[in-house]
Chains A and B, each alone.
Chain A
């Protein structure tokens, strides 16, 4: 039987890859019996879904006006060059 410290690693790995059936079952059983690991697994899932959309929720980061202008000019130049090809 694996202990919590090992289950924590398997929960993480299981989010990105398919674990062998027997290990998946063991993790499942462990989570049913262990409140801390159950909460840990739930919190990882929550973190994962938040991470996928975080750029939509951090409005305080934006391009500066200077950066925008610079990008705009470079784009103009690049587009001009490609249309001349």
Chain B
């Protein structure tokens, strides 16, 4: 009979570990796969987005591989859960970078994108995008190997402000934002932009993170009496309570949000209060079947249930990364970060299969396109309120 002593068990474990550790790099090299790595927040405060992003990336990778890959090479998506913690994201990056040699990487936060940037440049073998639309990242000189699959937060405000200026010239606008890096991002630059468009920013309200009651903030808003109020830096709370109290006080503002507060399932949680809530969205919604949108049709076929806007973000990010790989290989070039980014920047009037309603170009680190959507509480859907707006 075989008896396992503690020592032999240890030896066995060591042997198994060596075998596993030795096998992984060999597999990556032999297959010639193109690896898309990811620090993905599958748990923690950002999990609602992370789960959608993960599904979107996975689905696009599957579509590419089912069609034979890129130049015959399979895409392989390797991710780790980060719980939306920067140290965990960095650890995941280091692990995946060492074991899998990714050419593409998805990061989960602004802080991570900034932290990892020097390492990304040092490695020089990959381009990166992620869940952050931070204005700061939209700088090809400082972040030459990164991009974002949509407008940055200042551009989102720019799109909203341009819509407002068209609808109601000289309108009074208020900004309400969370006291976080995310919340503060577009505020100063957008105040200037509003002035250029002839709009007047009558109040800027800051809410501390995690604050529950917004009564005092609503009182401030009543005093300012804006025509439009733009929320930024939130997902859901405290927007519903803010609108509820403001309506009770008789404040006649229109209410607007930016990308992360615009998912249909989140907005509809506001119930009646969502009526007329508007915001900027760079992607079309899952259920949008207007016109030609083969990719949306494909997504609905793969997943019969509603998919969030975070899903669309992950899906489009994977699509653009794949396009960069394809263009680099088409040019007979090596898959380095620099070549991939240069290939990405050659994207002009690109058809996303309907994920974005107009052809897109990526001259720098962002795609400055979006559309205003409005909540229709009867239909329980976000519906278009404007045409597509492209910033120059």
**A and B part of one assembly:** no
**B contact set with A: CB distance below 8 Å:** none
**A contact set with B: CB distance below 8 Å:** none
